[in-house]
Homo-oligomer: A and B are copies of this chain.
Amino acid sequence: MEQLDLLLWLAIQEDLAHGDVTTEAVVDQDLDGRAVVLGREPFVLSGSRVFHRIFQLLDPTIQIVSFFRDGEEIQPGIPVFGLDGSVRSLLTGERTALNFVQRLCGIATLTKQMVKKLSGSSCRLLDTRKTTPLWRKLEKEAVRHGGGANHRFGLADGVLIKDNHIVAAGGVREAVQRARRHVPHTLKIEVEVDNLDQFEVALEAGADIILLDNFTPEMLREAVVRNKGRVLLEASGGVLLERVRAIAETGVDFISCGALTHSAKSIDMTMEMEFTTS
């Protein structure tokens, strides 16, 4: 049991409210049927447990099978999930379940496209906190299903000192010192910088990780050289599919990319049914 169930239940309610008037009026209560879900374009699977869970919450008598595991690449027209049970329940849950899966597969698929560009490099692709409100955990799972890694989950499990923090603290050095003093000793301290001068200051101030925001490849390369392996380096800003390889080749340890979660497009998927005489 986890908070997810509450959210999924609220999501079902959002669509269902006072019931599915069409289905209740038109479909016999006793009619059973089978359905398969498949994509109309190639994609990387994510969201399987949400798909299962929504139908379980809606109607525990529905039988659901998965033909693939999250993270697998699937061709169009191939059944991904199979369902068996009350036609009413299948029709009522269809849209909510697909809304989740189409979005999560979209994220996993975009992530995989980028990760493939990094093949052979030791640089890792990270997500950000630019996720859909309330679905961060699922979206960060989708990033992992696409082969990416996760940056921090929220404001409590990582320290990231940005420009506004630095101004507020009165300088990089002061900000890092304050963090070192007040933050649990289990957390590393990451500092965001905009140029090479700031990079030098952050390095000297004792940051554990430095986020190089909107650096050109040349600037990234220069930072890698000056770093001499002392701290972890992360690049961000303008990370597009066609540029990600070049960024990785500068030698940074991580590339973080908000578009993975805020701008992936949904995968086109459909649920096809057949009926059984009961």
CB pair A184–B153 under 8 Å, yes or no, is yes
Distance, CA A178 to CA B25, complexed state (A): 6
CB pair B185–A254 under 8 Å, yes or no, is yes
Q: Which of A138-189 contact B (CB under 8 A)?
A: 149-162, 164-165, 167-169, 175, 178-179, 181-188
Q: A187 to chain B: closest CB distance in Å?
A: 6
Q: Check A275 for interface membership: any CB of B closer than 8 A.
A: yes
Q: Enumerate the 5 nearest inter-chain pairs by beta-carbon distance, A residue then B residue, closest first.
A: A158-B186, A25-B182, A11-B133, A20-B155, A157-B157
7 further contact pairs, Cβ within 8 A, besides A14-B134, A33-B168, A103-B262: A15-B136, A16-B154, A22-B159, A22-B179, A26-B179, A31-B168, A186-B209
Within 8 Å by CB of A187, from B8, B20, B167, B187, lies: B187
Q: A85 to chain B: closest CB distance in Å?
A: 13
On chain B, the residues within 8 Å of A120 by CB distance are none
Q: Which of A34-82 contact B (CB under 8 A)?
A: 57-58
Report how many copies the assembly holds: 6
CB pair B17–A17 under 8 Å, yes or no, is yes
Category for how many chain A residues contact B: 35 or more
On chain B, the residues within 8 Å of A234 by CB distance are 185
Binary interface profile of A, 108-147, with partner B (CB < 8 Å = 1, else 0)? 0000000000000000001001111111110000000000
CB pair B18–A154 under 8 Å, yes or no, is yes
CB pair B91–A18 under 8 Å, yes or no, is no
Q: A98 to chain B: closest CB distance in Å?
A: 8
CB pair A151–B262 under 8 Å, yes or no, is no
Binary interface profile of A, 183-200, with partner B (CB < 8 Å = 1, else 0)? 111111010000000000
CB pair A133–B135 under 8 Å, yes or no, is yes
Within 8 Å by CB of A130, from B95, B152, B160, lies: B95
Distance, CA A26 to CA B161, complexed state (A): 8
What residue in chain B is nearest A31 (Cβ atoms)?
B168
Known: A28-B168, A132-B132, A133-B135. A265 touches B266 (CB 8 A): no
